[in-house]
Structure 1
Amino acid sequence: MKLQLQFEYAAFLLLGIYAFAQTGYSWWWFAGLFFAPDISMLGYMVNSKAGAFFYNLFHHLGLAILVYLAGTFLSLPYLQAAGALLFSHSSFDRILGYGLKYPDSFQNTHLGKIGKKPN
């Protein structure tokens, strides 16, 4: 099942790359901002609950789609690009096993535990 999910998220990543390509922005923007959603992890400096909230906000596929669609309907290519970047980044994270976070710990995700296994 894990491999099946990785293939699904790889398809999502390709879809996000395609959506970004439709915006007409330079690929330098895509490369330069690809990891920008990870700034949301700064919320963990406050506590796990705030960290999980901000991480999940910037890594939610549904929100990414809404941002992209808002850019489409409002004819705002920069909003489309932001949505495509959020979608692509979140899909990439899911391929690596980084899911949405539970508020108790960064390692506790909807895809299971991440990090080093205890000996």
Structure 2
Amino acid sequence: MKIQLKLEYAAFILLGACGFAQTGYAWWWFAGLFFAPDISMLGYLVNTRVGAFFYNLFHHLGVAIIVYFAGTALSLPYLQMIGAILFSHSAFDRILGYGLKYPDSFQNTHLGKIGKKAE
């Protein structure tokens, strides 16, 4: 099952790249901003609840889709770009096993425990 999920998320990355291609922006934007959603982890400097909220906001596939389609509806290619990058980045994180976070710990995700203490 893990292989199937990883293949599904790989297809999501490809879908996000196709969405990005529709924006007309140069590909270096995609590469340069691919890891930008991880800035949301700075919320963990406040506490785990704030950290989980901001991490989940910037790593939620549904939020990425809404941002992309808002850009499409409003004819704002930069919103489409942001949505495509959020979507692709979130799918990439899922392949690596990083899921949406629970507020009790960064290591506690919807995909299971991560880190050295994971069993």
**What TM-score bracket applies, with the shorter chain setting the length?**
over 0.9
Distance (Å, rounded) in 1 between the aligned partners of 2:3 and 2:104: 27
Structure 2: runs of 5 or more not aligned? none
SS in 2 for 1:108: strand
Match of 1:8 in 2: 8
Question: What are structure 1's unaligned runs of at least 5 residues?
Answer: none
Q: Sequence identity, in percent? A: 82
- Cross-structure match for 1:40: 40
**Scaled by the length of structure 1, what TM-score is found?**
0.97
Compute the RMSD of aligned alpha carbons: 1.2
1:1-119 correspondence runs (5 A): 1-117=1-117
Which whole-Å deviations, capped at 9, do the CAs of 1:27-61 have from their partners, x for residues lacking one? 11001100000000000000000000000000000
TM-score scaled by length of structure 2: 0.97
User: Match of 1:11, as an amino acid?
Assistant: A
3-state SS of paired residue (2:97): coil
Aligned residues: 119
Partners of 1:117 and 1:56 lie apart in 2 by: 22
Runs of 4 or more off by more than 4 Å in structure 1?
A: none
Distance 1:76 1:63 in 2: 16
Task: Note the C-alpha offset of 1:118.
Answer: 6.5
Letter in 1 for 2:13: L
For 1:42 and 1:118, how far apart are their aligned partners in 2? Answer: 23
Mapped to 2, the partners of 1:8 and 1:101 lie a distance apart of: 20
Name the SS for the 2:81 alignment partner. helix
Q: 1:118 to 1:97 in 2, by over 3 A?
A: closer
- How many Å apart are 1:4 and its aligned residue? 1.1
Following superposition, the deviation at residue 117 of structure 1 comes to 4.0
